[in-house]
Amino acid sequence: TKKRIGIWSAGWSSGEEPYSLAIILHEACLRDKSMSGTIYATDIDHEILSKAKQGVYEKNALENLSELQIKRHFTCLPDGTYEIKPHLRTNIRFLHHDLMKGAPVSRYLDIITCRNVTIYFTENQKSELLREFHGGLLPGGYYIMGLSEYMGKEGESFFRPYRVQQKIYTRI
């Protein structure tokens, strides 16, 4: 049977995170042909979404990638910037989404990343967001938060630690 991975990358600044996830997903699918997936890349800012859809980055944004990954997934443009190749774009759905609307972008997700976003939220907003993420994830699905963020007491009823140092939790 085909395993379909669902990933929600919520609230990022430049689109690098969804494309990084797309690289990981693509390389995993090359190793396991029975796997496929979709990344829901959401932000509230239309301008940021538009820029991310372009998928063009400076060389320094690629510093954590190997030369093979750069060759496989990017095209060097005449101005020295790098553009994401089409095979990565096919698995990403860029969507406008307000995290405070109370509904996940999709259900039955395997992974939700929302890093360095909740530092701007009130405690009540954080609790609402954790409920939203809990509702979007499959049991055992992963929630990844930013290193400067914390789960809080209410989150302990929705998630259990998986890799505490990296701020990775699993849905209960």
Among 31, 46, 17, residue whose Cα is nearest residue 112: 17
Q: What is the pLDDT of residue 2?
A: 74
- Listed in sequence order, the residues at least 6 apart from 78 whose beta carbon sits closer than 8 Å to its beta carbon are none
* 101, containing H or E segment: none
Beta bridge partners of 57: 82
Q: What is the pLDDT of residue 3?
A: 92
Give the pLDDT of the chain (172 residues) as one tens digit per residue: 779 999 999 998 888 999 999 999 999 999 999 999 999 999 999 999 999 999 999 999 999 999 999 999 999 999 999 999 999 999 999 999 999 987 889 999 999 999 999 998 999 999 999 999 999 999 999 999 999 998 888 898 999 999 999 999 999 9
Measure the CA–CA gap between 53 and 60, rounded to whole angstroms: 19
